[in-house]
Chain A
Amino acid sequence: MMLRIKRVPTVVSNYQKEEGEEGSRRGGGCGRNCLRNCCLQGARLPLYTFKKVDRIATDVLEHGKSEPPVSFLNSLLLGEWEERMQRGLFRYDVTTCETKVIPGSHGFIAQLNEGRHLKKRPTEFRIDKVLQPFDENKFNFTKVGQEEMLFQFGESEDGEGQFFTDATIDPENSPSVVAINVSPIEYGHVLLIPRVLDCLPQRIDRDSFLLALHMAAEAGDPYFRLGYNSLGAFATINHLHFQAYYLTLPFPIERASTKQIATLDNGVKISELMNYPVRGLVFEGGNALQDLSNTVSDACICLQENNIPYNVLIADCGNRIFVLPQCYAEKQALGEVSSELLDTQVNPAVWEISGHMVLKRKKDYEDASEENAWRLLAEVSLSEERFQEVNALIFEAIYYSGNGSGADSENVVEDANAKHKSTEKVNAINETSHSAMVTGSQGCIVLQ
């Protein structure tokens, strides 16, 4: 049985349209200045290259004595964003939306945004497969007009960060771009699209995740977070992308207490979220940035391969990463969510789970309470039992790859798959203290 839910997607680009919709004035053909071969020739887009860093600049290491000024990347991003605002490319002015912090100890943030969701008929979304192949016929980011693109973002080739106002978009370089989200939640809401021309489906891989982490580090602002939604966890477009925006308030999830459960060889510290409606893991530390990035990527890949929908929040300039498996879409499809919650039309994606709720109806905004927010998010979370099962999967996957000699992600994924033919083996790990893990290049064998 294929699980589907009906929902009204959020439009992130002015060029996005529903499948089967009558041709709009932007429909079909070209001359729209998109990114496909028809328009790419000679196209120009500013290019920002960053110097690859080994560690996130914790203030003391890099900036030592002085407060980092608004970083170059921030000026570029905000400046270009403001310019698009004045050009009228956004569907509404997000700064006119009312926002408040809900009284209570967690500090959930509620925004009244009546314009974000379209007043359209809902369409069906398949939500039972986290990994789905890229479909050229559906909307993807190569169909976006170049005016919605702000700049290209990539690693510098000569080890020094640089900026080129007038760079060409060179397909040979497989450029990654930052684009506006035309239905912003907050000021500066953008999309990071790794290797846009390669048309990757929505799934995390090591390289793309590292790129996202570098963006967080380059922005250097703890209030600039990046987020990721897998398919089945409210990603609307099956074309690999991250989201990002500024909010100069702590997210409730960032304020939640954590309990450390492990430290890996590569220095990555893993904790569990405590006293928060959604269960999840927090990753920090790492001997090098790459270690943290790879560990989290591998955890995500494991979830993908096991068809578990999840969201990721990159916070604190990339120093803290939250991974949250969820099951709300499945519950919705199976009719297990109360209609009261469904009526709010809140789709709990990464921002909502982090504690920033965008509400469509004035009534919901005015009645917003910590209790309501908690109740909604609690529906999203995996049960304790299921969460521990998923944790066990994750730990196996990251532990193996942490020891492997730079085995690339595909090998890890394969092996992880082979191991998890049944959950019995997984449960065995939890039950006995005598099981051992043998590592090697062949794969992981769990002995009972």
Chain B
Amino acid sequence: MESQLARIEQSFNARYSLRVREALDELHHNFTITDPAFPDHPIVFASRGFLKMSGFLREEVVGNNGRIFQGPKTNRKTVMEIREAIREERAVRVHILNYRKDGTPFWMLFQMSPVFSKEDGSGVHFIGVHVPLRRNKKITNDGADAAWNEIAFRPCRREVCSDSLVELTRFLALDTGTSCKGVEIEESCEASELEKHRAATAINNILSVLARCSESTGRMVCGKRCSLPAAGLINSSLNISLGRIKQSFVLIDPHLPNMPVVYASDAFLKLTGYDRHEVLGRDWHFLNGVDTDSSVLHQIHESILVEQPCTVCILNYRKDKSTFWNRLHMSPVRNATGKIAYFVGVQMEEKCKSQDRRRLSPEIRQLGAVGAVKGNNLWHRWTFLYTQMVPVYERYLEKSSVADMVVGIMDYFDPGSYARLTTRLNPFNSLPGTSSDSVRLSEVDQGLH
């Protein structure tokens, strides 16, 4: 965890400069900033207002995922809505029940907005603004009154029982001596227009600070996706999903001439001794060396061409030139259209043959990684993402070109259509109605919902 925290800090500074924390601390809002590029999408910045509101210390928050503020009564559907928004790299606004460090629950308006790199359109951070909701004090069954003392409440309870069932629930509650808890913490609480406005303003202010700070490092950001991510690049939501797979594996893009590596798991880096930036973009057989059997390489290449899986045993070289026998399994991974998007290669070091009967066999463990990649159906997600984005683009392009664009999006992994698509849409800034500096959150919001 230690080195992860250092990496988090370094990454944040690298994009926004050292001044950023000071600048963010000048804002009085309650907010967090998270980074999906790191495993488990941790919080990388928490404002002073947020820490005060939640009762946590900075070191207890930074490096952890936002789920630490959720608890048993947090609505599961709301959690799902946030998760989906993250995976689709879009804005969301929900009412959610969060828990302070001392365990007391409180209702909050949570508004989250992605931050995109201006350079390549990839999602780089998420801003989460938290607005505590003001409610009038009311009696609850379980004596949680004490915790609400400090905040003034207003009534916001909605009628929970439908007319047709009101009799039923009432009789369930009455004579049997048990309560059908009509007034309870789980109910949602509607935010006022003022509170919603406050959240939107906060997002805009934070984005302005981030945009300004990023100018000095040259790695500029903006609140809207300004360009479509380059073909082959893994976006943040794929990153999160793939990051859960603990085996050593890579994804290669077989459509490009040198079949480069587009994703490498942490376990792969550990096995081979390379850093991530040394691996991404390199051609697929960079692990091979002088003594690697070329006929085996040929076999792998053949399998890729005929779109078939294969398992080989191959001599590979680490960064420090030491060798190891790699039991490599390659398998095609298809996208939503049924066409091949990537090849996954799962490595297993052939060292000890002893089999622990209580663990998965090496073969199954290896195939488990393949399954996890394929089963993730991440390619469906891309389709979903772009079908959501179409309405946004629709406002800036002619209707006829939208249909064209949808086709292009569906064929996302076809480099040809992709190229046509991006030329039309880039740069986003120059299209009428957009401004490169200010953030039109409300527009993005409307378009995506």
Residue positions of A touching B, CB distance < 8 A: 55, 58-61, 64-70, 72, 74-83, 86, 95-101, 103, 107, 109, 162-166, 186-188, 222, 246-250, 254-255, 258-265, 269, 272, 284, 316, 319-320, 388, 391-392, 395, 399, 403, 429-433, 435-439
Q: What is the minimal beta-carbon distance from A181 to any residue of chain B, in angstroms?
A: 14
Does the CB pair A263–B184 fall under 8 Å? Answer: yes
Q: Which residue of B lies closest to A187 (CB)?
A: B375
Residues of B within 8 A of A107 (CB): 384
Q: What is the minimal beta-carbon distance from A356 to any residue of chain B, in angstroms?
A: 11
Does the CB pair A67–B337 fall under 8 Å? Answer: no
Does the CB pair B39–A250 fall under 8 Å? Answer: no
Rounded to whole angstroms, the CA-CA distance of A427 and B241 in the bound complex is 50
Does the CB pair A101–B244 fall under 8 Å? Answer: no
Does the CB pair A82–B374 fall under 8 Å? Answer: yes
Does the CB pair B358–A164 fall under 8 Å? Answer: yes
Does the CB pair B359–A79 fall under 8 Å? Answer: no
User: B169 within 8 Å of A by Cβ?
Assistant: yes
Q: Which residue of B lies closest to A269 (CB)?
A: B186
Interface string of B358-394 (1 = CB under 8 A from A): 1111011111111110111110110110010010000
Q: What is the minimal beta-carbon distance from B257 to any residue of chain A, in angstroms?
A: 25
Rounded to whole angstroms, the CA-CA distance of A201 and B294 in the bound complex is 57
**Other CB < 8 Å A-B pairs besides A75-B372, A248-B380, 16 of them?**
A58-B71, A61-B72, A65-B65, A66-B40, A67-B39, A74-B371, A78-B368, A79-B366, A98-B338, A99-B377, A248-B375, A249-B380, A255-B81, A265-B179, A388-B164, A399-B172
Rounded to whole angstroms, the CA-CA distance of A262 and B211 in the bound complex is 48
Which of A69, A82, A249 is close to B367, meaning CB atoms less than 8 Å apart? Answer: A82
Interface string of B6-26 (1 = CB under 8 A from A): 000000000000000000000
Residues of B within 8 A of A165 (CB): 355, 357-361
User: B176 within 8 Å of A by Cβ?
Assistant: yes
Does the CB pair A429–B168 fall under 8 Å? Answer: yes
Q: Which residue of A lies closest to B371 (CB)?
A: A78
Residues of A within 8 A of B364 (CB): 75-76, 79-80, 83
Does the CB pair B41–A79 fall under 8 Å? Answer: no
Q: What is the minimal beta-carbon distance from A168 to any residue of chain B, in angstroms?
A: 13
Interface string of B161-203 (1 = CB under 8 A from A): 1101101111110111011110010110000000000000000
Residues of A within 8 A of B359 (CB): 163, 165
Q: What is the minimal beta-carbon distance from B148 to any residue of chain A, in angstroms?
A: 20
At the interface, is chain A mostly helix, strand, loop or mixed? mixed
Question: Which chain B residues (237-253) contact chain A, with CB distance < 8 Å?
Answer: 240-241, 243-246
Residues of A within 8 A of B338 (CB): 95-98
Rounded to whole angstroms, the CA-CA distance of A69 and B241 in the bound complex is 10
Rounded to whole angstroms, the CA-CA distance of A265 and B177 in the bound complex is 10
**With A107-B384, A433-B170, A433-B171: A320-B76 Cβ-Cβ less than 8 Å:** yes
Interface string of B425-449 (1 = CB under 8 A from A): 0000000000000000000000000
Interchain residue pairs with CB less than 8 A apart (10): A59-B67, A76-B368, A83-B364, A103-B387, A165-B358, A255-B77, A262-B172, A265-B178, A437-B171, A438-B175
Does the CB pair B162–A254 fall under 8 Å? Answer: no
User: B292 within 8 Å of A by Cβ?
Assistant: no
Does the CB pair A67–B358 fall under 8 Å? Answer: no
Does the CB pair B371–A248 fall under 8 Å? Answer: no
Q: What is the minimal beta-carbon distance from A442 to any residue of chain B, in angstroms?
A: 15
User: B80 within 8 Å of A by Cβ?
Assistant: yes
Q: What is the minimal beta-carbon distance from A106 to any residue of chain B, in angstroms?
A: 12
Residues of B within 8 A of A388 (CB): 164-165
Rounded to whole angstroms, the CA-CA distance of A245 and B377 in the bound complex is 11
**With A76-B364, A96-B338, A248-B380: A101-B162 Cβ-Cβ less than 8 Å:** no
Does the CB pair B165–A391 fall under 8 Å? Answer: yes
Which of B41, B170, B360 is close to A76, meaning CB atoms less than 8 Å apart? Answer: B360
Does the CB pair B244–A164 fall under 8 Å? Answer: no
Does the CB pair B387–A98 fall under 8 Å? Answer: no
User: B336 within 8 Å of A by Cβ?
Assistant: yes
Residues of A within 8 A of B172 (CB): 262, 395, 399, 437
Does the CB pair B360–A75 fall under 8 Å? Answer: yes
